[in-house]
Chains A and B, each alone.
Chain A
């Protein structure tokens, strides 16, 4: 029986490899002629958008898996505990500074934050990192600056609201949400006993194993998120949305919703936001620019792979409410002309 199982497994493996090679060399020859995609332009566009989203994010997803595995295997808990300030408020600001320094955006940060929390970083500090890392980096600031040169209130508003959101959400999480939030993965436990590895090749093998496990764990959720995002990308009519954007509250909620389902990369969303800028108020544009990087369809699913679903739900609700109210306030402020 066992032998049969192994035999069939090997056969399946062999067939799959052949299939890959076949598709690699001949994929575009026979499939498109069998299924004529040019008659289904929407479906083709959906595939294109999905593949674009996948290719754009996958290097960073993989980078996140590598960084997380690296922290897991080579950085001890003591070191992390020594680096992070003991006082909660100091820890909060420490993670804002860390977010400024670390040049990664949303795809890569989630697994890393998960790993850091496992390693003993306080939850609220981790959450602050989660909120600020996608916005507080030089590339994102650069593209926002470029896209909104004539609206400095948007450029600085984005940064300020992001930091305020981080402080409020961090404080809330510190006070109310101190339970463990990490989703246990079945094939990893407390790895402290691994210090017995001595040889480098052992460690390397272990690193490779970890990277693959982590990548596949996060990747499957990411793909589901990317599928949904590409469906919405293709189906949502942005020109109709633009007509609804004149009121402050509706417009802001709408823009945050759009940011959520479009799932743009935070270094690119400023240009898309700029394309909305003539039909939405500045407060609503800020909602798009602040909420989108913190939360969208694809990274909600990545979060679900890393944290308990209850926490993800609370986090989404909290970030949504905080960003919404801050953006509405900012909107009032900007319309009065004060900055």
Chain B
């Protein structure tokens, strides 16, 4: 029986390795964890495969190299050992079978839109926003713009903004209102935050969860009792979802 337990453990380790491998190859791994965590996953993938293979190989010799790991534990009832190893089947099988790696709207609604300032007062960069006619928001300056708008909320009225994101609706939103939102992630999907701006205007036709690039005028509004920038919609254009769905907060302290 001991041999069998060894083999079984080896199989589970190989299964974990294969699961990570499959997610990596299919590109789904970065939907679950941030790119900076990727190297750790790949190292663990290698470690799982190596340890799994070695564990598998050593079934015959050396089993009784010392008296310490004899059948005491293995003589426990098979029920407990089944439940012990059965637990590991959950992540393996989930990794093999899941196809949709996004959080549903209900879950996002429970997190709510985050509107906060995180960047330092980088006045040099803020100057550039003052100069432009249209504030163009992309992945790189997303948080800078958010910070700029939140700090200068009194002066931004009437400025034009161009931004892309997916359409997000909350239950209490009226019909002429949506939010143009992005998701951010630091380590993995568990710590995903929802960022976004409320958009008002002719938005009835814009589909929830579809991606749009919109242009609009900034005004002041409120969300959960806070004063926040709101966009009055001028034009909207449907776009393909980008390759990097997520924004990544904080990559390196030295940057």
C-alpha spacing A268/B186, complex, angstroms: 6
B197 at the interface (CB under 8 A from A): no
Interface class of chain A by DSSP: helix
Mask, B11-50, CB within 8 Å of A = 1, is 1111110101011000001001100010011011001100
Interface of chain B residues 182 through 229 with chain A (CB within 8 A)? 184, 186-191, 193, 224, 226
C-alpha gap A262/B96 in the complex (Å): 25
Given contacts A20-B92, A41-B105, A62-B44, contact A9 B4 (CB under 8 A): yes
In the complex, which residues of chain A have a beta carbon less than 8 angstroms from the beta carbon of B69? 187-188, 209, 213
| B95: Cβ under 8 A from any A Cβ | yes
The answer to whether B190 and A208 touch across the interface, beta carbons within 8 angstroms, is no
Q: Is B41 a contact of A55 with CB atoms below 8 Å?
A: yes
Q: Which of A17, A186, A279 is in CB contact (< 8 Å) with B11?
A: A17
CB <8 Å contact, A16 and B9: no
Chain B residues near A5 (CB, 8 Å)? 1
- Residue numbers in B under 8 Å from A60 (CB-CB): 40
Q: Which B residues are CB-close (under 8 A) to A183?
A: none
Closest chain A residue, CB of each to CB of B45: A59
Chain B residue total in the interface (Cβ 8 A) = 86
Q: Is B88 an interface residue (CB 8 A)?
A: yes
Give the CA-CA distance A230 to B87 in the complex, in Å: 15
- Report A201 CB to chain B, min CB distance, Å: 8
A316 to chain B, nearest CB (A): 22
Which residues from A are CB-within-8-Å of B224? 239, 242, 279
* Chain A interface residues (CB < 8 Å from chain B): 5-6, 9-10, 13, 16-17, 20, 23-24, 27-28, 31-32, 37-38, 41-42, 44-45, 47-56, 58-60, 62-63, 66, 138, 142-143, 145-150, 185-189, 191, 193-194, 196-197, 202, 204-206, 208-209, 211-213, 215-216, 219-220, 223-224, 227, 229-230, 233-239, 242, 262-265, 267-269, 271-272, 274-275, 277-279
Please list the 3 inter-chain residue pairs (A to B) with the smallest Cβ-Cβ separation, ordered nearest first. A41-B104, A27-B96, A59-B44
